[in-house]
Structure 1
């Protein structure tokens, strides 16, 4: 489930590594639409206090000049945002016209309550959208699908992704080099694990650091399980964990292998890993106490590259997950998006803002600060990659191309995730994999039965 990382200082520091933008995407003046068609109107924006918000705010006057639309921005910390946005969406006259929407259960709940405007009419209207300029298909397919509801296979669009994270590895270039290990030659998870065992590390430095506790582990663990699952089809609204009848699949060998790999990485981490959430795990790596970090969110580069927060800022390498199955490498992703309330009286004007804010042109500028573009063209741009730390753009772009949305539309998801965490920690503690996963299977079966989803 989505979570905001408090990385504002880190992102600013990472941005300082970059030179001024040399933009490749066409500006809005090239779009074949009338940007002034709603001149004189105003739009209320309600955003989370987030790096994307910080990056877009200085650009808002450009939109106002382009369109003649007045923008009024209100922000809230994430904890307060959920309640405020839900109350606003449920009202007959929502107090905002554009808002942050998270993929996953929060977005699905808003959809189920008929709070979200479907955006296909705006996307397909040539008076509102120039498809050649906007390039919707350039958005990561996984990120875009996460805002297709009621499930990713639907063609109905209810949000546009604008800040996307993928799950990948970070590593110490110096320690791998000193151990004679060529990271570029590693193409499988078996080779990666073998390399970690061969590392020659100073006292107090562990081969790995990763999450081992807290419900926030789900998305990252899903990246590993997606990798071991491979190309076997599954319903995208329940990840790989449940079949079409909501029967759990935690005893499937592919799922068990993903859990085992994660537990094996935990065994190579520092003592106390079962209490590590993102803060503890990133701190270990940033303080030079681990040779690798992850799999975890790409946006954590902002911590590791910031000398004020990291002692290894000049030693960090980046790698997409190596393949864990014969089908090749896979991972998972998570994203924020922008959406419009169903009851907004200004849907078309609001769409112009979404179109502008998530366009290739604006995305290039914002992503220099957020490092979280949802567009493939950003990551494949030579100009953009030249402004990033060596290897980072390639690793993220490669990860985005193999990512699937980390989605489980289940109201009792937290109960399932807690049981998943218990199984992971049990395997780490020495419980046989088959035994731990069978217990998880039984617990998950009870949960979906009680929810009325699974009826054997």
Structure 2
């Protein structure tokens, strides 16, 4: 391609990216609920001239963090916070899945040994709130002594903010977590294999994707698709992303999302759109390796990263990992796009990590300064280079340390996905049990059970489960 033409195409694509980002930014300001301080100009948080960042100098706060790319991106900057505030940090990082067990144990300890922790903003956070283990952040956010005037909560998409606002059906819920990083569900594809088997044509619909994955898998020369295939509740957010893709414009309000019909005693699991989504998931598993029912995201990611599979639907945050030339066999060969559509438009879901403060924190105000700093526009952009999951719209609006550091096609796919993304969370303390039953149903369909029958059995099992255990 001539250099001038390539530059022109690149300029047009970048302009399109900026248009999408700007539209997203406008949406965040026009659809938000007035739940906190009004939006500001989003200037750098350190520039608040009247804000006293050293008001808690001498305090020491503990951080409990998951061994996550966000944590990897954060750690080099911790000395900057200590220099800015005079607060000493004591970070502790715990690998999954032990993190979730340790997090809950420490939240219930006396005294609680941490002041800030990495908060899964889903049914886990809801359960912690119900158990009165989370400190409300709204009073801190609304206190001008504790929050700089240019800290813009409305820079986060409404769907991100609502994920940790409880009670979810209240006219004035309080905020219990600030978004730190998100994952939307997108399609990764191996360009070499798509060129080899599909003449370079990327499937545009989910039906085409299933057909293409099966075609490649049946060749015996490559794996058609890899997915999280383990029978576990940990696959539910990827499943929800695929089901949401075929849901259409009908709302999916929290706490029930799309899985219940406005009542915990009324599961919605025989809805044809849900049945179709679960079937599609099982079909993509069938286009995978023989051991796919034992594969979680680490195994699926490694297989795709090794260049052995053509397609992979999963969390967008894996994108930067695939581009690391020192560890990835497919760096520079990965394509990124939104989920192939089911109807007229591609839709998807998202899942969030956030930062929260334990109810029994010894230094909640100093802890809030840390959260405010770590989730500021300039810090979110720097940290998100490691995750590809900058949750603030402003990180995508102008060329920055973030947008210049990541693959352009990847950035465009994620930013486009954000336009239609909905929460995958279900705010029920026993949602994990229902999610496990959904995963088991996908296994049944994979093993040959007729999808409608499998859905009927799932509906009956979940109805019995919820009736036996009662409503929240």
Contact 1:214 1:276 in 2 (8 A): no
**Residue aligning to 2:389:** 372
- Cα distance, 1:29 vs structure 2: 3.2
**Residue aligning to 1:63:** 81
Q: Aligned equivalents of 2:125 and 2:208: distance in 1?
A: 38
**Partner secondary structure for residue 391 of structure 1:** helix
**Residue aligning to 2:441:** 423
Q: Aligned equivalents of 2:327 and 2:398: distance in 1?
A: 28
1:217 to 235, 239, 247: 235
Contact 1:111 1:150 in 2 (8 A): no
**Residue aligning to 1:355:** 372
**Residue aligning to 1:129:** 147
Please state if 1:227 is matched with 2:248.
no
2:338 to 297, 309, 320: 320
Contact 2:217 2:287 in 1 (8 A): no
**Residue aligning to 1:305:** 323
5+ unaligned residues in a row in structure 2: which ranges?
1-41
Residue correspondence of structure 1 range 378-417 to structure 2 within 5 A = 378-383=395-400, 384-417=402-435
Root mean square deviation of aligned Cα? 2.6
Q: Aligned equivalents of 1:83 and 1:425: distance in 2?
A: 27
Between 1:71-80 and 1:105-114, the stretch displaced more is 71-80
The alignment's TM-score, normalised by the length of structure 1, stands at 0.85
1:266 to 285, 301, 309: 285
Q: Aligned equivalents of 1:85 and 1:291: distance in 2?
A: 37
**Residue aligning to 2:355:** 338
- Cα distance, 1:307 vs structure 2: 4.0
**Residue aligning to 1:277:** 296
Q: Aligned equivalents of 1:79 and 1:194: distance in 2?
A: 35
**Partner secondary structure for residue 375 of structure 1:** coil
Between 1:88-97 and 1:431-440, the stretch displaced more is 88-97
Contact 1:426 1:436 in 2 (8 A): yes
Q: Aligned equivalents of 1:80 and 1:429: distance in 2?
A: 31
The number of residue pairs the alignment matches comes to 426
- Cα distance, 1:162 vs structure 2: 0.6
**Residue aligning to 1:256:** 275
Q: Aligned equivalents of 2:217 and 2:200: distance in 1?
A: 10
Q: Aligned equivalents of 2:119 and 2:169: distance in 1?
A: 15
2:108 to 77, 87, 90: 90
5+ unaligned residues in a row in structure 1: which ranges?
1-24
Between 1:417-426 and 1:437-446, the stretch displaced more is 417-426
The alignment's TM-score, normalised by the length of structure 2, stands at 0.82
- Cα distance, 1:84 vs structure 2: 3.8
- Cα distance, 1:203 vs structure 2: 4.0
- Cα distance, 1:197 vs structure 2: 6.0
Contact 2:124 2:429 in 1 (8 A): no
Contact 1:379 1:396 in 2 (8 A): no
Residue correspondence of structure 1 range 188-227 to structure 2 within 5 A = 188-193=205-210, 195-196=212-213, 203-215=220-232, 216-227=234-245
2:136 to 82, 96, 118: 118
